[in-house]
Amino acid sequence: MNPDGTGRPGRWKVVASLPMRLVYFDFPGRGEAIRDALRIGAVPFEDERIGFEEFRARRAAGALPFDVLPVLVLDDGTVLSQSNTILRFVAARAGLVPADPIDALRVDELLDAAEDYGGRLSVSIRIQDEAVRAALRAELAQRWLPDGSRSSSAPSRPPVEAGSSAARSAWPT
Ligand SMILES: N[C@@H](CCC(=O)N[C@@H](CS)C(=O)NCC(=O)O)C(=O)O
């Protein structure tokens, strides 16, 4: 049961209006797209940036559901995890989710593709030899970055304006 005595839809409304705090390290990493979405949508949030010592302390205290950052802490104590999940949550709140479900699906597709690409790219970070690293990255870009010609990801119509009523209607009520 929700605070307002209704079922799930009411709960979304309550959660969507809560003040929020993004906890991440002081670098872009998996936090910046979330920060960007909140900034673009002019959604107020606390941008808490912590160091590794503090991260380890919070992890040991059990404050991080998956033992990693980022997390988004809502004012009622709800802790949301997983960067892309958080991104979808704040994008909905910022009015950035396409109203058309297929267009929204295309966005998710790109998020998952970026996750795949990041996994492959991270292998190259550990390669010390610059020439070998550059060659691997060139190969990765050639093989895995979408060139547009193979992709059917282009939205079927222009994205809705951030914060517009069309965008807000994408938020479950
Ligand atoms: N699947 C998670 C991965 C999160 C993740 O790996 N976070 C890194 C920072 S980008 C982290 O907390 N690393 C610290 C550690 O693993 O000790 C997500 O997308 O949020």
Domains of the chain: 8-94 (3.40.30.10), 101-156 (no CATH)
CA of 35 from ligand 1 middle (Å) equals 16
Tens digit of each residue's pLDDT (9 = 90 or more) over 44-64: 999 999 999 999 999 999 999
pLDDT in the model for residue 8? 59
22 lines ligand 1 (CB under 6 A): no
What is the biggest distance separating any 2 CA atoms in the chain, rounded to whole angstroms?
Answer: 62
SS3 of 14-64: the string is HHHCCCEEEEEECCCCCCHHHHHHHHHCCCCCEEEEECHHHHHHHHHCCCC
pLDDT in the model for residue 16? 77
Q: Whole-angstrom Cα distance, residue 11 to residue 8?
A: 5
pTM of the model: 0.79
83 lines ligand 1 (CB under 6 A): yes
Hey, how many other C-beta atoms are within 10 angstroms of the C-beta on 108? Answer: 13
> Which regions of the chain are under pLDDT 70?
1-9, 146-173
